[in-house]
Amino acid sequence: MRSGIEQALLNLLINARDAMAQLPSAIPRRIRIVAEQAPGGCVAPHVSDTGGGIPPAVLGRIFEPFVTTKGPESGTGLGLSISHGLIQAMGGAIEAHNGAEGAVFTITLPAAALEAAPLS
């Protein structure tokens, strides 16, 4: 399970980096990851960037295979589709929306049970 969440988060970080790569130098480039407790015993990490957001025509289809905002020289349009499948396989969900400065992705997953350390 751990490698699935790592792959999904890595894909979101790479996409954020790529979205900000062509920004004018005066615009700050920031990626923010914040995790919070969500209802139903879940945890919800949010990944946001200052890349300007996802075009509205693409936003509703962003998790479909081969949907991409990147040019043909970079990316296949499979990263978010794969991430979506990985998160669903872990019993979670992933959503995307545009925030004030760019894209915001929220992953919701069941929280892992804490294992108590043995007392010495």
- Output the domain CATH number for residue 21: 3.30.565.10
Among candidates 90, 46, 32, 84, which has minimal Cα distance to 63?
Answer: 84
Q: Is the pLDDT of residue 91 over 70?
A: yes
Among candidates 71, 60, 66, which has minimal Cα distance to 18?
Answer: 71
Confidence of residue 2 (pLDDT cuts 50, 70, 90): low
Distance separating alpha carbons of residues 60 and 81, to the nearest angstrom: 13
Distance separating alpha carbons of residues 7 and 49, to the nearest angstrom: 18
Q: By three-state DSSP, how is residue 58 classified?
A: helix
| Residue given tokens 């914040």 in the structure block | 34
Q: Write the DSSP symbol of residue 21.
A: T
Structure confidence at residue 46 (pLDDT): 97
Structure confidence at residue 103 (pLDDT): 97
| 26-35, 45-54, 70-79, 100-109: the lowest-pLDDT one | 70-79
Backbone torsions φ then ψ of 20, nearest 5 degrees: -90, -10
Q: Is the pLDDT of residue 117 over 80?
A: no
CA separation, residue 5 to residues 12, 87, 89, 110 (Å): 11, 7, 10, 12
Taking residues 98-111, what's their average pLDDT?
96
Backbone torsions φ then ψ of 59, nearest 5 degrees: -55, -45
Distance separating alpha carbons of residues 119 and 97, to the nearest angstrom: 45
Does residue 119 lie in a domain region?
Answer: no
In the chain, how many domains are there?
Answer: 1
Structure confidence at residue 101 (pLDDT): 93
Confidence of residue 68 (pLDDT cuts 50, 70, 90): confident
Q: Is the pLDDT of residue 102 over 70?
A: yes
Structure confidence at residue 120 (pLDDT): 63
Does residue 48 lie in a domain region?
Answer: yes
Does residue 116 lie in a domain region?
Answer: no
- 3: tokens are 């490698």
Q: Note down the domain range covering 103.
A: 2-110
